[in-house]
Amino acid sequence: MTHILVVDDEPDLELLIRQRFRKKIREGEYAFSFAANGREALAAVDERSELDVVLCDINMPVMDGLTFLSHAAERVDSDFKTVIVSAYGDMQNIRTAMNRGAFDFVTKPIDFEDLERTIEKTSEQVLALREARNARESLAKLHRELDVANRVQQEIIPKKFPAFPENPEFNLHATMRPASSVGGDFYDFFKLNDHELGVAVGDVSGKGIPAALIMTASRSLLKSQALQGTPPAQCLSLVNHALCSENISSMFVSLFYGVLDFRNGTFKYSCAGHNHPYRIGTSNVAHIEPVRGTVLGVDASLEYKENLVRLEAGERIIIYTDGIVEAFNAAREEYSDARLQALLAENATATVEELVTLVMDDVGRYAGETEQSDDMTVLAVEYVGGR
């Protein structure tokens, strides 16, 4: 509905307008209100927030139309448009009115067909301006929400290194670089007891706030199960079942979870559709023995398997998300697993912190100015040796 305020001191104009536009009034397209001068019009403007169009005469007692325009311009919260109504020969005042902010004008005697076209054009402009303003406000609100989500996400991801200085039996380091303000990647690590360390890296499909929400839920579900001593494969099965029952957004999660017994170097792990980590040995860099599993959040009935390897003192496990190996350069060529494996082999003696930094820096150099298309996460854990 278009809300129109008519400002004119002619007593017969209200009846004429109501008669001329009776069909649009009856069908709810137009709603008219009336004021006899500029002062009454200003009072109506202050009282009515839904006002769209003001049809305003120039020559009126108490307050004329030009003065009304000057005062109306001070109402910064108002977004109506004013159409000036004046005699054809009054072009000087019409020009002054346009300079003071009038959107358009019609001349007397009024051609009601022309007036209707002018009202429609003016109301369309008002609607477009309101939609643009609402879009700007929504965008500003979204940016504020993204900032909050980014801070929350960064706070829940552990970033204190060395993480467990009281345990010289292992070292670990990790980092995450979201592709947008908030991301769907995550990593986590936690001690399960006095001799076991849990490490996890996950990747939620998509980016932004929806992915971040699924990421937070996945991380929390995994950690709650893991801290109860649940084996890796069973952890993934339980997290998968929970995600399938609540995953209304149809997102899925790839996840790798492993448990290092830092008394003897055994590393038990399970995988749900995630990139298999690299094992950096004394003379070899290769993927650890794969254990296949479908991504989480697709089929609640799935069961997951696990595997176990024994690390020698000094060996490292590098867990990463596909944002690393699928990063593009300017030629749209992927960074690739082969390049990552070669980098790790060239720096096999580097510390876990150095390895994480080397990987992120090398991917950055490879991509150059190409926009990052996916979140990137790397976690490295080293078994130093039992006590």
DSSP string, 205-221: SS-HHHHHHHHHHHHHH
Is 306 part of any domain?
A: yes
Q: Domain total for the chain?
A: 2
pLDDT score recorded for residue 65 = 84
> Between 232-246 and 208-226, two packed helices, what is the crossing angle to 10 degrees?
140
Domain of 93, CATH number, reads 3.40.50.2300
Would you say residue 292 lies in a domain? yes
What is the residue whose two structure tokens read 């490490």?
A: 199
What's the whole-number mean pLDDT along residues 266-286? 93
Alpha helices in the chain (DSSP H): 13-20, 22-26, 38-47, 65-72, 91-99, 112-156, 208-226, 232-246, 322-325, 337-346, 352-367
- The amino acid present at 151, given as its one-letter code, is R
Pair 383, 169: CB distance under 8 Å? yes
State whether 129 and 167 are in the same domain: no
- Residue 163 located in a structural domain: yes
Q: Which of 313, 282, 289, 317 is nearest to 173 (CA)?
A: 317
Position 139 confidence tier, pLDDT thresholds 50, 70, 90: low
Same domain, 90 and 220: no
One domain, residues 196 and 119? no
DSSP letter assigned to residue 312: P
Query: How many angstroms separate the Cα of 146 from the Cα of each of 65, 184, 187, 213, 354?
Result: 46, 13, 20, 12, 31
Same domain, yes or no: 102 and 177: no
Domain membership flag for residue 144: no
**181, amino acid identity:** S
201 in the same domain as 119: no
Task: Summarize the confidence of residues 249-256 as an average pLDDT.
Answer: 84
The answer to which of 136-140, 151-155, 341-345, 357-361 has the lowest mean pLDDT is: 151-155
Q: Cα separation of 195 and 336, whole Å?
A: 35
Residue 117 and residue 17 share a domain: yes
Residue 270 pLDDT greater than 70, yes or no: yes
Q: Are 212 and 79 in a shared domain?
A: no
What is the mean pLDDT of the segment spanning 246-254?
73
Structural domain of 299:
157-383
pLDDT band at 261 (very low <50, low <70, confident <90, very high): very high
pLDDT confidence tier of residue 149, bands split at 50, 70 and 90: low
Cα torsion for 276, 280, 281, 284, to the nearest 10°? Answer: 80
> Do you find a cis peptide bond into 290, omega within 30 degrees of 0?
no
**368 and 236 inside one domain:** yes
Is residue 351 within 8 A of residue 292, CB to CB? The reply is no
Residue 310 located in a structural domain = yes
Chain Cα centroid distance, residue 104: 40
**Total Cβ atoms within 10 A of residue 132:** 10
- Which two tokens mark 155? 């706070």
In a domain, 308, yes or no: yes
Shared domain for 127 and 162, answered yes or no, is no
CB atoms within 10 A of CB 139: 10
> Which tokens sit at 320?
């990463």
pTM of this structure? 0.65
Number of C-beta neighbours around residue 74 at 10 A: 8
Return all residues near 166 (Cβ < 8 A) that are at least 6 apart.
none
φ, ψ of residue 228 to 5 degrees: the values are: -85, 0
69 within a domain of the structure (yes/no): yes
3-state secondary structure of 143: helix
User: Could you tell me what percent of the chain has a pLDDT over 90?
Assistant: 40
Question: In this predicted structure, what is the pLDDT of residue 115?
Answer: 86
Range of weakest confidence among 16-25, 167-176, 189-198, 355-364: 16-25
257 and 201 belong to one structural domain: yes
Reading the block at residue 10, the tokens are: 């002619």
- What one-letter code names the amino acid at 112? F
Q: How many residues does the chain have?
A: 387
- How high is the pLDDT of residue 128? 77
Q: What is the mean pLDDT of residues 262-270?
A: 96
**Residues of the chain above pLDDT 70, percent:** 89
Considering the domain architecture, whether residues 129 and 235 belong to the same structural domain is answered as: no
Q: Are residues 215 and 309 in the same domain?
A: yes
